[in-house]
Structure formats: C-alpha cells, structure tokens
Chains A and B, each alone.
Chain A
Amino acid sequence: MTKPVVIVVGADKGGVGKTTVSRTLLDYFNTNNVQTRAFDTESPRGTLKRFHPEITEIVDMTTTADQMKIFDTLNSGLSVTVIDARAGLLSPALASLRDIGFLDAARSGQITFAVFHILGSSIASLDEIAETAGFMSGAKYFLVKNFINDTQFFQWDQSTYNSYFQQIKNATELTIPKLNEMAYEQVEVASVPFVNFVANKNRNDEAANHSFVLRGYVRHWLANVWREYDRINLTDLAGAKSVTRGGEK
C-alpha cells in the first residue's frame, strides 16, 4: 500500500498566492494520475473549493473534529492530501500536528509530509521561515517564491535570506513564475482548474469560449510551474510515476 502523503501549503501572511499554488498542485497530481484530495481551511468561504469542488472539503483546522476528519482518514486509499492553510494558520497548524503526534509519524517514515511555504515580499517572511523551520524535522520543506502576482522581493537582502535558508536542512527553493494578469483574472472568473481553462472547458466540463491567447498564456505558465514540480520529483514524493505530458515542450 502506498504511504500517505500530506502536503501543507501555507504562509503566515495573506495574499501571497497559497491557493494558487494549491491549485497548481491539484492539477499536477491529477495530470499525473495521482489520486488526491484537498482540504480548504478558509472556512467558511473556501476559495480552493470553488476551483476543485469535487475533491475539496472545507474544514476548520483549529477544531479537533476537523483535525480528525483530515488525519484519521489518511489511509483512505487516496495517496495525496493537500491542505491549503489559510493566512496565519501555518505555524498554529504545524504546532497542532506536533501535538497530535503527526510530525513524529512523519519522522519515523509512516507518512510522507511536505510543506510548501509560500514566501511574501516582506522581511516578515524571513522570520516565518525561522519559525516554521522548527517543525521541519522529518518533513520535506519547500520555500516557494511566488511571482504570479508580480511580487518583487524588494525587501530582501540576499545574504540575510541565505542566512535563514541555511538554517534549514534539506529545504528546497521553488519559483512560481508570473502569469499574465488578464489570463489570471479570466481563470478566476471562470472558476475552473487551470487545466480545464487550457482545455477550453467550463465548470460542467462542457466546451467553453475562453480566449485562445489567454489559454496559451496559462498553458505556457502552467508548464513552467510543473517543470519546477518535476525538478523536485514531486510525483516520486507521492509514490507515483511521472506521466508523459503532451503539449508544452
């Protein structure tokens, strides 16, 4: 039986693109035939659920009942669980995971645990790294520089960043490139997964009328994001084999 995989996507700051990254992960696993479920902790609204309603459940991770819903069902047969942690919840969520013994289970190899820490442009993000690093023993830690909304990491002094980065053993950097603004907006309006937008489909999986140009921008961007996921062998992490994808070369 495949070992369960839990991926937490989070940041303590809002508006850095956590849900966007979660959406690209769900699309990536879906395309690579990895069975996935998602939990959206933006209770009660749930942005992730709007894009992936069939596999996403809205939960309040601060309640014991919902923690049980997530972690007591890890052996349900679905190999990957993606948790989109709402702003400010990353550190408390990791503390909860420690308290329920989840981090110990990850350390002992019973569970594969990964954290995608989405970095903002402010220096506060660097403090977040230091705080999060304390929980990362036994976990795969990915630091994601998200440029999708044209973030300029202007506040960062590279040597300061490096000093934080080097404190964390085995942390890996990822870069999410910028997506054309109009293309991003149109996917938002369409409320469909990125892959459905590229395939010109609407929410009901029927033919849509999305702009060819915007679909092209999304296709190109998504291919670059997935290239990053290929680089870190994300399908191997999930215990699956990468499939050959058509289209973008």
Chain B
Amino acid sequence: MPMLATPVYIICSPSPQVGKTLVSRLMSEFLLLKNGTALSFDINLKEPSLVDYLPNITETADVIDTYGKMQLMDRLILHDRVAKVIDLGFHAFDEFFKMCEEIGFIREALRCHVAPVVLFVAGTDRISLRSYEMLRRRIPSGALITIHNEFMLRGELPEVMDGARVLRFSALPVFLKTYVDRLSFSFTGYLRNEKDSSSELHQWIWRNYVMFRDLESMAMLQPSS
C-alpha cells in the first residue's frame, strides 16, 4: 500500500480580488470536516483575509524576509498528515515562487512525502497569463490546477489554462455571495444547520466539497519522488 502524502494546497493568483480567500476558506473548512484537522496560513495581510474567517486554524505568515520564510516553509515541509492551506496574497506571489525555486521546495517536498498542489485562480489579464506560464514551467503538471471562479471570471478560461486540470466554481447570485462573505459564515455550519438540501447554496457547497474530496485523493496518492 503506498504511503499517503501530506497535501499542501497553495491557493494563488498574481491579481487581487479574484476569490483566493473564498477558495481557501472552502478548502480549509472541507479539510476540517473530512480530517478533523487542518492548518491554514494567511499570506494576505493587505486584503480581507483568511485569518479573520477561520482564526482557530489559521496563522499569519509572510515571505518578506528570510526569517518569515523559515517560519512558513519549515512547517510546510513536515510530513505530519495535517493538510495545509496557503492563502497566498497577490503581493507575495512572485517572492513565494521565486523562493520555492531557489530552495527546491517542490522536489524536497516530494522526497519528504509532502504533496504540494498549486491552485491557480485564473484571470484573463496579462499578468495572470505570464504567471501561469511561469508555474507551468516550474510545477509538475499533475500538481498545477486551474481554478475557474465563475463569479469573477464570467467568460471562458484562457485557452492555455483550459487544457490541464480545472476546478470550476459556479457563480453564486450576488445576495448569496454577500451572505457567504460575512465573517461569521461557515460553509460546514451551513451544511449542518440548513435542513433544505436542495437550496442553491447547499448544492453549491456540496458540489465544491466533492471536487475537493477528489483532489485530496489524488494529491495524497502522489508518488513520493
């Protein structure tokens, strides 16, 4: 039986306001529901951030200096069977991946039975396209997933991002989006308390949790080298 890896989900985009924190919240709550434990890192200090939504499982981090990088990366490399979620703010995007390249994070992680999965929240602007190309060169294809957040990106995905694996988050009506954006809102709490399982939000959360379940299975079975 293969050894199951510890997944590290890096939710990122070089652009602000594309839905990174929403996806990070969903992923963190899903992991908490499925595994009973999760550890999230908020590298998003200039925007509304994950730590405000999930303070019990979220730590703030930065990649501004070497000390901050050590505090973050030395924990990400641990094969402790606690799945990690990184909500990577747009301002830290370049520095984070530059550091990953310099310290050989992806290769070392695989050696340590840690499975990094980069969830790139797609945009159509030039910076997004350029950043996606950079990731395609550096991240093994199985570990690079495109997120199509249909609430923010109404049209088609850029062709280059549509070929590989894509997770689609359908657009919620604005009133529901406003509802889930409240700091006190919990996706899992909603599933537990809302009796009407046919409601649009119930279906939406459930559908996304199923996508994450499949992704988690794939990530944990990733070969160790």
Q: Give complex CA distance A180, B103 in Å.
A: 11
A182 with B77: CB separation less than 8 A: no
B66 with A181: CB separation less than 8 A: yes
In the complex, which of the residues A180, A182, A212, A214 contacts B108, with contact meaning CB atoms closer than 8 Å?
A212
A211 with B70: CB separation less than 8 A: yes
A213 with B70: CB separation less than 8 A: yes
B: number of interface residues (CB 8 Å): 14
B104 with A213: CB separation less than 8 A: no
Residues 88-121 of B at the A interface (beta carbon under 8 Å): 99, 102-105, 107-108
In the complex, which of the residues A181, A214, A220 contacts B70, with contact meaning CB atoms closer than 8 Å?
A214
The listed residue with most B CB atoms (<10 A of its CB), out of A213, A214, A247, A248, is A213
In the complex, which of the residues B67, B103, B108 contacts A217, with contact meaning CB atoms closer than 8 Å?
B103
Bitwise interface map of A from 229 to 249 toward B, beta carbon under 8 Å scored 1, else 0:
000000000000000000110
Query: How far in angstroms is the closest Cβ of chain A from B138?
Result: 12
Q: Give complex CA distance A213, B76 in Å.
A: 10
In the complex, which of the residues A182, A213, A248 contacts B74, with contact meaning CB atoms closer than 8 Å?
A213
A216 with B103: CB separation less than 8 A: yes
- Minimum CB distance partner of B101 in chain A: A220
B81 within 8 A of A: no
Q: Give complex CA distance A23, B105 in Å.
A: 25
A219 within 8 A of B: yes
- Minimum CB distance partner of A209 in chain B: B74
In the complex, which of the residues A181, A214, A219 contacts B104, with contact meaning CB atoms closer than 8 Å?
A219
A: number of interface residues (CB 8 Å): 15
A93 within 8 A of B: no
Residues 62-93 of B at the A interface (beta carbon under 8 Å): 66-67, 69-70, 73-74, 77
Q: Give complex CA distance A121, B92 in Å.
A: 34
Residues 110-142 of A at the B interface (beta carbon under 8 Å): none
A171 within 8 A of B: no
A183 within 8 A of B: yes
A248 with B70: CB separation less than 8 A: no
A212 with B102: CB separation less than 8 A: no
A220 with B66: CB separation less than 8 A: no
B66 with A216: CB separation less than 8 A: no
Contacts A219-B103, A220-B102, A220-B103; A213 near B108 (Cβ below 8 A): no
Query: Which chain B residues border A216 with CB–CB below 8 Å?
Result: 73, 102-105, 108
- Minimum CB distance partner of B76 in chain A: A212
- Minimum CB distance partner of A211 in chain B: B70
Query: How far in angstroms is the closest Cβ of chain B from A249?
Result: 9
Residues 29-77 of B at the A interface (beta carbon under 8 Å): 66-67, 69-70, 73-74, 77
Query: Which chain A residues border B70 with CB–CB below 8 Å?
Result: 182, 211-214
Query: Which chain B residues border A211 with CB–CB below 8 Å?
Result: 70, 74
Query: How far in angstroms is the closest Cβ of chain A from B92?
Result: 15
- Minimum CB distance partner of B105 in chain A: A216
Residues 151-199 of A at the B interface (beta carbon under 8 Å): 180-183
Query: Which chain A residues border B107 with CB–CB below 8 Å?
Result: 247
Query: How far in angstroms is the closest Cβ of chain B from A18?
Result: 25
Query: Which chain B residues border A215 with CB–CB below 8 Å?
Result: 103
B102 with A182: CB separation less than 8 A: no
Query: How far in angstroms is the closest Cβ of chain B from A142?
Result: 26
A212 with B66: CB separation less than 8 A: no
Chain B: residues with CB nearer than 8 A to chain A? 66-67, 69-70, 73-74, 77, 99, 102-105, 107-108
Chain A: residues with CB nearer than 8 A to chain B? 180-183, 211-217, 219-220, 247-248
3 smallest CB-CB distances across A and B, nearest first, come from: A216-B103, A182-B66, A212-B77
A-B contact pairs, 23 of them (CB 8 A): A180-B66, A182-B66, A183-B66, A212-B73, A212-B74, A213-B66, A213-B69, A213-B73, A213-B103, A214-B66, A215-B103, A216-B73, A216-B104, A216-B108, A217-B102, A217-B103, A219-B103, A219-B104, A220-B102, A220-B103, A220-B104, A247-B104, A247-B107
Give 19 new A-B contacts, CB below 8 A, not counting A213-B66, A247-B107: A181-B66, A182-B66, A182-B70, A211-B70, A212-B70, A212-B74, A212-B77, A213-B69, A213-B70, A213-B74, A214-B66, A216-B73, A216-B103, A216-B108, A217-B66, A217-B102, A219-B104, A220-B102, A220-B104
